Amino acid sequence: MNRSYNRSNNELRPITIERNYTKYAHGSVFVCFGDTKVICTAFLENKVPPWLRDSGQGWITAEYGMLPGATSQRGDRESIRKGRSQEISRLIGRSLRAVVDLKEMGECQIMVDCDVIQADGGTRTASITGGFVAVYDALQQSVDNGFLKRNPVIDICSAVSVGLVNGEYLLDLDYNEDAQATVDMNIVMNSKKELIEIQGCGEHGIFTRKQLNDLIDLAEQGIQQIIEIQKKAIGWNE
């Protein structure tokens, strides 16, 4: 089938990660998955949620939102986060916490904000990918300032969408492909190819265990490529 950027079915859209994108955040990233563009910022605060006080443990939480002009039809500005935004926010937070030693952070919290300025499919996967780099940079700044002894990031995480469209397996779906998908999934993994989260459903049908396994395999290939882009961006050494 014809895909954006003349891609093959197992090919990612062009992905770019620009660090230090804003002036004030402790970590900030402008991440692009093709025409999907997201600003991710991370602020480290010297406090934790009430249930973690005196625990010696840190926390990472996220908020996700879309600007009104991010899509072809203007959306309402979210004064109160909608159910979809809350779900994606929690997904981002869970994914980022999975690759950080929260005990090593001590009692501090990182607040990650992922703001979609242009949406063309895969906004949550782009947010996780860019959010990780923003968190890494925020924690590294704390090391450089003497607040932390070492960076508590223990692995890299990234995410990608996969799906079945007209009977074909596709990697990194854009909006039009996502709208046609029989099966649509978002998969989060670390650099060890371990699964952090699988979100998927039969949008317009059902799917088999074999198809599920094939989609996970396809996502794994894409995620490992994205992780290499992240490693290059932050200068990650194994």
Q: Is the pLDDT of residue 13 over 90?
A: yes
- Residues 186, 196 contacting (CB under 8 angstroms): no
Q: What does 41-95 look like in DSSP terms, one character per residue?
A: EEEEES---GGGTTTT--EEEEEEEE-GGGSSSPPPP-SS--HHHHHHHHHHHHH
Query: Which element (helix H / strand E) includes 141?
Result: helix 123-144
Cβ atoms within 10 Å of 96's Cβ, excluding its own: 26
Q: Is the pLDDT of residue 75 over 90?
A: no
pLDDT at 80: 65
Q: pLDDT tens for residues 143-201?
A: 999 999 999 999 999 999 999 999 999 999 999 999 999 999 999 999 999 999 999 99
pLDDT at 238: 65
φ/ψ (deg, to 5) at 99: -120, 20
Cα 185 from Cα 134, distance rounded (Å): 24
φ/ψ (deg, to 5) at 166: 50, 40
pLDDT at 81: 64
Q: Is the pLDDT of residue 98 over 90?
A: yes
Lowest mean pLDDT among 74-83, 84-93, 114-123: 74-83
pLDDT at 129: 99
* Averaged pLDDT, 212-235: 98
Cα 72 from Cα 91, distance rounded (Å): 25
Pairing of strands 183-190, 157-165: antiparallel
Q: pLDDT tens for residues 109-118?
A: 999 999 999 9
Q: Is the pLDDT of residue 40 over 80?
A: yes
* Averaged pLDDT, 14-43: 98
User: Which of the four CATH numbers 3.30.230.70, 1.20.20.10, 3.20.20.140, 3.40.50.2300 does domain 11-234 have?
Assistant: 3.30.230.70
- Residues 119, 174 contacting (CB under 8 angstroms): no
- Residues 159, 188 contacting (CB under 8 angstroms): yes
Mean pLDDT of the residues in the chain: 95
pLDDT at 78: 75
Cα distances from 16 to residues 36, 42, 44, 117, 208, in angstroms, run 11, 18, 24, 15, 34
The whole-model pTM stands at: 0.95
Q: Where are the domains of the chain?
A: 11-234
pLDDT at 110: 98
